Structure 1
Amino acid sequence: MINDLKLPNTAVQVPKGLELITLGAGCFWCIEAVFQRLKGVKKVVSGYAGGYVENPTYQAICTGTTGHAEVIQVYYDPAVISLSALLEVFWATHDPTTLNRQGADAGPQYRSVIFYHNPDQEHLAKNIKYQLNDAKVFDDQIVTEITAFTNFYEAEKEHHDYYNQNAAQPYCQLVIKPKVDKLKKFFAERLK
Structure 2
Amino acid sequence: MKGVVSVKSGYEGGKIANPTYEEVCTGLTGHAEVLEITYNPMQITYKDLLEVFWKSHDPTTLNRQGADSGTQYRSVIFYHTPEQKELADKYKAELNAANAYGKKVVTAIEPVKPFYVAESYHQNYYKNNADAPYCRLVILPKLEKLEKIFKAKLK
- TM-score range for the pair, normalised by the shorter chain length: over 0.9
Q: Supply the RMSD in Å over aligned alpha carbons.
A: 0.5
Are 1:114 and 2:74 counterparts? no
The alpha-carbon deviation at position 98 of structure 1 amounts to 0.2
Q: Could you report, residue by residue, the CA deviation over 1:28-62 in whole angstroms, capped at 9, with x for unpaired residues?
A: xxxxxxxxxx1100000110000001111000000
State the partner residue of 1:90: 53
- Output the TM-score relative to the length of structure 2: 0.99
SS at match of 1:168: coil
In the alignment, what sits opposite 1:70?
33
SS of residue paired to 1:96:
coil
Structure 1 segments unaligned to the other structure (5+ residues) = 1-37
Of 88, 95, 107, 1:144 maps to 107
**3-state DSSP class of the match of 1:66?**
coil
Q: Secondary structure at the match of 2:8?
A: strand
Residues matched between the structures, number: 155
Q: How does 1:170-181 map to 2 (within 5 A)?
A: 170-181=133-144
Q: Distance in 2 between matches of 1:92 and 1:124?
A: 16
Tell me which stretches of 4 or more aligned residues in structure 1 moved more than 6 Å.
none
Give the TM-score normalised by structure 1.
Answer: 0.80
Match of 2:10 in 1: 47
Cα deviation for residue 150 of structure 1 reads 1.4
The amino acid that maps onto 1:42 is V
Partners of 1:190 and 1:100 in 2: how far apart?
Answer: 30
Q: Which residues of structure 2 form unaligned runs of 5+? A: none
Cα displacement string for residues 156-181 of structure 1 (whole angstroms, at most 9, x for unaligned residues):
11110110011011000000001100
Alignment of 1:119-134 (within 5 A): 119-134=82-97
Aligned to 1:80: 43
